[in-house]
Amino acid sequence: MDSFSIYHNLTILSAPQKVFEAITHPEHLNHWWTKKCSGIPREGEIYNFFFTAEYDWYSEVVKCKTNEQFYISMTESDADWDSTTFGFDLKAISDGTQLNFSHRGWPQCNEHFKRSSYCWAILLLGLKSYVEKGIIVPFEERQ
């Protein structure tokens, strides 16, 4: 069976360590993605991504290499997301960090897939603004 994937690449003008912290530590995730998050950046650990009572999702860390890689497999979310894994690959470059993002395993190229691809692009720009400039977009104003 075919599956579909989302890919976004961007440069963040900051060291990989700072980017890694922003994508793995719950207190940082809450500044650009989740409303409330818990988890430890270590393989086999469980993350809870809370957005609203309706969107209270769980996942497992499937790959974690400090300052280089962080991958999450969704375990309790919705029908489209449950089959997916998203992750970040980080590489130090002369002016900061090259971040390569992927969200793989989508069962269909449906409206939810398309909307999620758009949302990830907006959220990743929020991540960039947060890491580079300390800008926090209030949860209610995020896509």
State the DSSP code for 92.
Answer: E
User: What is residue 1's predicted lDDT score, i.e. its pLDDT?
Assistant: 56
Confirm whether 118 is domain-assigned.
Answer: yes
Q: Would you say residue 47 lies in a domain?
A: yes
Q: Is residue 143 part of a domain?
A: no
Does the residue 110 lie in any domain? yes
pTM, two decimal places: 0.95
Cα torsion 85, 51, 115, 112: sign: positive
**Rounded distance between C-alpha atoms, residue 104 and residue 53, angstroms:** 25
Q: Is residue 59 part of a domain?
A: yes
Domain holding 52: CATH number? 3.30.530.20
The C-alpha atoms of residue 45 and residue 56 are separated, in whole angstroms, by 17
pLDDT at position 69: 98
Q: How far apart are the first and last CA of the chain?
A: 30
Domain extent at residue 98: 4-136
Count of domains forming the chain: 1
Residue 29: its pLDDT value, please? 98
* 142 occurs within a structural domain: no
Q: For the chain (length 143 residues), average pLDDT per consecutive 10?
A: 90 98 98 97 98 96 98 96 96 98 96 96 97 96 80
Residue 141 lies in a domain: no
Task: Flag whether 84 is in a domain.
Answer: yes
